[in-house]
Structure 1
Amino acid sequence: MPRRRWPLWAALVAVVLVLTCGLPAALLTVALRHGYLGTSVTPDPSASPTENATTVAAREVAERITAQLDRQAAALLGGDRAGFLSIAAGSVHSDLRRRYAGLRALRVTRWEGRPSGLPMPAGRAGEWRLMIEFRYCFVVPDCQTSPMLVDTRWRDGAQPRLLALAKSKSSPYVNGRMSGQPGNLPWEVSELVVAVGKRTIVAATPAFRARLPSLLKRAEAAAKVADQYVVGQPAPDRYRVFYAGTKEWKRWYGGDQAEWSGGYAVNVGGGHHEIVLGPESLDYGAGLDELLRHELAHAASLPENDYWDNSAWWLIEGLADHAGADGAPAGRYAGLAQTRKLVKGDWDGKLDNLLPADDAPDDQVAGAYGIAYLAVRYLIDRFGEERVLAFVKAVVHDLRVPAQTAEEIFDESWSTLHRECVAHIRSTVR
């Protein structure tokens, strides 16, 4: 979504990244059967007769590491920073202190780490590399956990020692499956200050501490609007909002955003979409409220698994822009001039190919968003929000094309409805 230059146009962006959700990695979950026995390998009665000694040894290392991860989780949830650090070598403590502070500030309520697969020898005798899947919740104890996979290195012993902990990386694949994760979560790489409300969590770096109370108030107001656009799932337990300074904008969640992006919603798994506000957004005035309503509506309406097709971009963004407008007349839409220019210029009259290129000029992006907004606004004015949300569920969540579902929801063929919708858009901007 574009970065609007207020008062001309407000930043409204939704770049949705794919994250592993509802597709947990194959986890090794085993009980710690016995302590470390030097370099000897004790026969494992549960092991397959065909398992070799190396596999048995790796399995036992994984058990000992699991016990350390359990100790660390208990320390984190119990507010014991020394215990959280104690499983790691001193070289890792600085990184762990930052993570601990960020997670505690975000009010972590669940935290668990489990090996994803078996460890592999790391080169030096007694050292192992192991992918760990962490799962976590903020504020709400019984939330659906968000997952993340990170690479770790350990020195084995009766109580293995963590030697290195990587940061999460952007990847379209997790454990070979077509489900990805974003890179560098804010609490992995930045010091955070946090404020928590009834419906939202807002966070920023310490440089913006003084602006956090105002941001929380505005996010809470936006959440009341966004809650009206929940599609096919419970409302978010808390909307998670992170304000990014210039440095953080280039680093958080991989940092690879479209040039016109002023904010975005990113899927972090477990049914959670986190909102990132761009570096200039706190100075948008009333535009910040519109931006928050837009992005929080994404968190409420997007599916747990972001497999929607680009042809549905107009519906996703149009709905979020409708939430952002919050009932204002279409004639007051901030990007109407750019919409008029695109409609009278290069637009081919099709809704399913509106998605702007990452390097598209600002006025073209604003025009595409305007067309999407007017299309959804037309459908809502004609059929009501309930039926349009059912249409979003069918097209975006269930991956049905409009031609398959328009008649059952709107009692009209999609070809006819599309033609009428486009005619209405052209009439509105003429």
Structure 2
Amino acid sequence: MTDLPRPRRWPLWLVLGVVAMVLSCAAPLIVILTLRDHGSGAAASASPVAVESPEPGDPEQVTQLWLRERIAEVLTQQAGALLRGDERGFLAVAEPKSAAVASLRRQFRSLRALKVTTWQVRITDIPERAGSRWRVVVTYEHCFVDPGCLTGPVSIETTWADRGGVPRMVALSPSASAQDGPRPWEASDLVVAVGKRAVVATTAKQKGRLAEVLREAERAAEVADRYAVDGTPPRHYQIYYAGEAEWRRWYGGDRPEWTAGYAVPVGGGHFDVVLNGKDLHSSVLDDLLRHEMTHAASLPGGGYRTGDNWWLVEGVADLAAAGGRPVSRYESLDDVKRLVSGGWNGPLSAAEPGERAMDWQVSAAYGVGYLAVRHLVDRFGEQAMLAFFKAVVHERESPDEASTEIFGEPWQSLQDDCVSYVRSAAS
């Protein structure tokens, strides 16, 4: 690994926004299939509307509706096989020797390693003809580890061949929306370590760090839990440790160059934390995990578009990352000093760095957020600061409303005080 030139080697970027699922308004029929693992085997239920087999001369929509029922049936069987741990049954949905076989085998083994407990299949579109084949998007609502958790969706385009009235999957495309995919379990063969509060997954090439990351994640969970302002910390934290190739691919890749980790909302109130293994030194792994896992604990379940409040979201996460160290030992303090010496004088709402920001500018921006939040804690206490965070980030109050309500001071004067503190701490 190559050291970066500054002591803070993990500038961070948080993926924001809600995973969206687009449903087809044209489809007159919805098939919903549900499977859950209740610990004593899988229970299955299906509620498709019966559709007669197509006859010669029928409109193509009759074939489409009929084929959707048949696809739903085989996916019901596949879901049951997944929860039973039956790899052969899971692969039976695929056309032998087709591209789908390898993809499904990888999915099965990775999903089982991740302790999949819920696998719900939803088809909202009707299959569309693609030459002699058919394509349809299938949405999978799923959970890991916790059988009773709220599910998160992922939508995957599948391609099918009709083999005498029995559809067989011949290909599937990874989920490809900006945040949705491909998910690590779609794109990679994963090795997984499961702890009491964290699940850590990576590839065989990175397996040597798996135990270390899990150990630090278990410790970080104790800190991150304190920042669950809605009172419900995650039941477990899902963490993916990415090698260089995986970092470029998982969740679409395409992060700013200075990114070392991010937390992405995946539905059901869950976040996946992804760490960039490149240049990630053991000496900063604990800080990085506390930061990103605090995002997972503190943010609304659908994520949050920070904008003017970027300093607050990242400042709280960096407060957790600092692990109680005094301000004088904050790793980005020299970069904040550089920013202040260049004339920075606020406002906090403009602190967010751009994608092309230099490393020291990114580090300084995080430092501004940390120091401002730290000052609020020093003046009003951590609980009051978290109440302010909840009001602004979860309840979407303006800082002006929240400041008057919680701190008893107008935000403009309090922000000026925070800016003065940042400048003083960096002097």
Greater relative CO, 1 or 2 (CA 8 Å, sep 6+): 1
**What residue in structure 2 maps to residue 86 of structure 1?**
92
Is the CA contact 2:200–2:241 (under 8 Å) kept in the aligned structure 1? yes
Structure 1 stretch displaced more, 262-271 or 340-349: 340-349
> Residue 119 of structure 2 aligns to a residue in which SS?
strand
* One-letter code aligned to 1:381: D
Q: CA deviation at 1:153?
A: 1.5
Q: CA deviation at 1:346?
A: 4.5
Structure 1 stretch displaced more, 200-209 or 307-316: 307-316
Is the CA contact 1:146–1:272 (under 8 Å) kept in the aligned structure 2? yes
1:37 pairs with 2:53:
yes
Q: CA deviation at 1:291?
A: 0.6
**What residue in structure 2 maps to residue 265 of structure 1?**
263
- Percent identical pairs in the alignment equals 44
Is the CA contact 2:31–2:49 (under 8 Å) kept in the aligned structure 1? no
> Residue 161 of structure 1 aligns to a residue in which SS?
strand
* One-letter code aligned to 2:177: S
Matched residues in 2 for 1:115 and 1:6: separation? 51
The 5 Å alignment of 1:29-428 reads 29=32, 31-32=47-48, 37=53, 39=55, 53-90=59-96, 91=98, 92-124=100-132, 127-156=133-162, 157-171=164-178, 181-232=179-230, 234-280=232-278, 282=280, 284-428=281-425
The number of equivalent residue pairs is: 405
**1:228/1:307 CA distance change after superposition, 3 Å:** closer
Q: TM-score, normalised by structure 1?
A: 0.89
Deviations 1:258-306 (A, max 9, x none): 1111111111111111111112354x23311111101100100111223
Matched residues in 2 for 1:349 and 1:7: separation? 24
**1:350/1:161 CA distance change after superposition, 3 Å:** same
Deviations 1:366-387 (A, max 9, x none): 1111011000001111112222
Deviations 1:336-373 (A, max 9, x none): 00011112214241000111111110011111110110
Q: CA deviation at 1:4?
A: 8.7
Matched residues in 2 for 1:348 and 1:382: separation? 20
* One-letter code aligned to 1:28: V
Q: CA deviation at 1:66?
A: 1.1
Is the CA contact 2:265–2:271 (under 8 Å) kept in the aligned structure 1? yes
* One-letter code aligned to 1:253: Y
Structure 1 stretch displaced more, 153-162 or 217-226: 153-162
Deviations 1:387-423 (A, max 9, x none): 2222112211222220122100111110111111111
**What residue in structure 2 maps to residue 16 of structure 1?**
15
> Residue 352 of structure 1 aligns to a residue in which SS?
helix
Deviations 1:82-109 (A, max 9, x none): 1100011121111111111110111111
Matched residues in 2 for 1:4 and 1:398: separation? 41
| Structure with more of its chain in strand, by fraction | 2
Q: Over the residues paired in the alignment, what is the CA RMSD in angstroms?
A: 2.2
> Residue 251 of structure 1 aligns to a residue in which SS?
helix
**What residue in structure 2 maps to residue 28 of structure 1?**
31
Matched residues in 2 for 1:20 and 1:116: separation? 17
Q: CA deviation at 1:39?
A: 4.2
Q: CA deviation at 1:140?
A: 0.8
* One-letter code aligned to 2:125: G
Is the CA contact 2:17–2:305 (under 8 Å) kept in the aligned structure 1? no
> Residue 397 of structure 2 aligns to a residue in which SS?
coil
Is the CA contact 1:223–1:293 (under 8 Å) kept in the aligned structure 2? yes
Q: Which runs of 5+ in 1 are unaligned?
A: 42-51, 172-180
Q: TM-score, normalised by structure 2?
A: 0.89
> Residue 165 of structure 1 aligns to a residue in which SS?
strand
**1:281/1:195 CA distance change after superposition, 3 Å:** farther
Matched residues in 1 for 2:137 and 2:397: separation? 36
**1:326/1:36 CA distance change after superposition, 3 Å:** same
Q: CA deviation at 1:233?
A: 5.7
